[in-house]
Structure 1
């Protein structure tokens, strides 16, 4: 028969193995295709914060190991696992980029894209427009922004010499839904959203709307203001369907996509093709060493937040500048704006 000491060692070993397995799944849920399931989707979102928490927990366990001899081996083993987890998590953040906001000198054919989930227009139309004008944005993606606010932003931009057309998609029959608006410079031509006989957008995302705008002339990029449903426990299926719909929108053609994706590049694993993060669309932040900076929530440090607001584009474009705007954290929205400068590849 096994002695008590042997049983304790076996139990401790099983606990260490269980912790190791759990940390591996949080670190890389893609290994079992769990990146878009609850609760791993939530746990993998905050890699920077996870690294800090893991390091703190490891310190506590090392102290426990020093003062509590009976659990010394178990506590120190778990502490080592946490340190490894924290180091690798921090490594992911660093590899995706800790922030580089230098822009190549803009060319006449470049397109500057601004995306900002405004939390119902909380910053106010004037402040939104001021940022768009300051950045010289030709495309402005505004999740959680109604048509009235978007029109006011467009009017302020036109007064500053940047005339914009406005497209808004709203789900009036979904109580929890919030509109998404898209402003496009008139210099890029006329754009339209495909609708059915009832006037409902044909291409969009479930529960929360996305705007898919195509050039009326047939020449120019399809422009998408993205806002799939957040992955709350009950809405994970709708969230997955939304990401799939956005990936499908980026399968072919010339596409620029921007907005609040409610997803990091980890969640998008398996939805990309031909080198893209989502469909054939490549992430502007990752390609410019900015992919580790969190855009939500705005009241925590960027390295501790989650990068769920993106600008993406197909191979017809490459990113010549990107930044997460951090000086508007007190503007009223819980998201940080992101700005990307896209240059044509000629493809």
Structure 2
């Protein structure tokens, strides 16, 4: 009887770890952290499977250990399959005239420096750059460097009190080719709770709304704020407007299941990497290989935009930040 009860408990735990959406637990404490790192948890399951295989030699434990090994193997196949189904494509599409290239990169408080950030912007051909944890001083310096290279941008920002702490800043760079944009006051358009979001609207009212966002990380003392932040960003994507959102969402596609509307991943917005077949490439942390990390940095867009390409850039892991840049090529339908 004890063996059966333990077996059922193990099966339930593995089901929750593989697909917490079954029980609506994808944003629950502990579960949210576990599902973020699917391949890491698969690795732990593999180690446990070896341990229980060794236990098969004990006669009294043989049946229970064998059942656990089978459950772990099923979990490993299922969770790996879910992860890989989101894509590891690293091919590159060439942007056409009229496309909007969006780059997002959490810079860990200006860590890479202006020249490195400007270099990534130039390399990616970005028209819009979302920079969580980048100060306006750094953003302005990057814009000056890009302008000197014949690629003029202007910088917009939102910061909270004690803005010397990098995470309390979010900066957006917009190419002058996009027209002029104005950052909207939080009192009018809302705001994430702990870390700032920039919401910019086109002065000519013809371009898409641009949002650089940074929902707080789902650490124990911030779980409610994390959920509210994700719900706020999802609400921006349900207002029937053309919108492009990029930033460090501190969440994966799994966490958004209850927030999608229709065919959207987050509200009506679609995740560019998931749509382009690169949704399984990790953006954090840079010390882990991309196949192992979590994709928590995203570019999402309203249904009037189609992602023709999205890549996690793995060639900048030594520039001081713990996040990888994400670049997406969006084409208006």
* Greater C-alpha Rg: 1
Matched with 1:149 is 138
Deviation at 1:202, TM superposition (A): 4.0
| Aligned residues of 2:163 and 2:169 also touching (Cα < 8 A) | no
Q: Which runs of 5+ in 1 are unaligned?
A: 1-9
State the distance in 2 between where 1:30 and 1:175 align.
39
Q: Once the two structures are superposed, what CA deviation does each residue of 1:60-119 show, in whole Å capped at 9, x if it has no partner?
A: 211221x2222111111111111111111110111001233321x321100111100000
Match of 1:38 in 2: 29
Note if 1:102 corresponds to 2:89: no
**1:259-270 superposed matches below 5 A:** 259-270=247-258
CA distance in 1, matches of 2:218, 2:58: 41
Report the equivalent of 1:170: 159
How far, CA to CA, are the matches of 1:16 and 1:153 in structure 2?
57
Residues 193 and 201 of structure 1 are in contact (CA less than 8 Å); yes or no, is this contact kept in structure 2?
A: no
Question: Cα distance, 1:29 vs. partner?
Answer: 1.1
Bigger mean CA deviation after superposition, 74-83 or 234-243: 74-83
Match of 1:298 among 286, 296, 302: 286
> 2:120 aligns to what SS in structure 1?
helix
1:234 and 2:224 are equivalent in the alignment: no
| Contact 2:159–2:168 (CA under 8 A) maintained in structure 1 | yes
Runs (4+) off by over 4 Å? 173-177
TM-score calculated relative to the size of structure 2:
0.96
- Matching residue of 1:7: none
Name the CA distance, whole Å, in 2 between partners of 1:222 and 1:120. 25
Distance 1:158 1:15 in 2: 64
Correspondence for 2:208 among 209, 221, 227: 221
Q: Deviations over 1:169-201 (max 9, x none)?
A: 0111689752000001111111112226xxx67
Q: How many residues align?
A: 331
User: Please, what is the CA RMSD of the aligned residues?
Assistant: 1.4
Q: What runs of 5+ residues in structure 2 fail to find an aligned partner?
A: none
- Specify the alignment match of 1:132 in structure 2: 121
Q: Select which of 110, 126, 135 maps to 1:121.
A: 110
Tell me the TM-score normalized by structure 1. 0.92
SS in structure 1 at match of 2:250: coil
Partner secondary structure for residue 267 of structure 1: helix
SS of residue in 1 equivalent to 2:226: helix
- After the TM superposition, which of the residue ranges 75-84 and 201-210 deviates more from structure 2? 201-210
SS in 2 for 1:78: helix
Equivalent position of 2:301 in the other structure: 313
Alignment match of 1:88 (pick from 78, 82, 85): 78
User: Would you say the 8 A contact 2:184–2:198 is kept in 1?
Assistant: no
Q: Is the 8 A contact 1:49 1:303 kept in 2?
A: no
- 1:112 maps to which residue? 101
Which of 180, 183, 186 aligns to 1:193? It is: 183
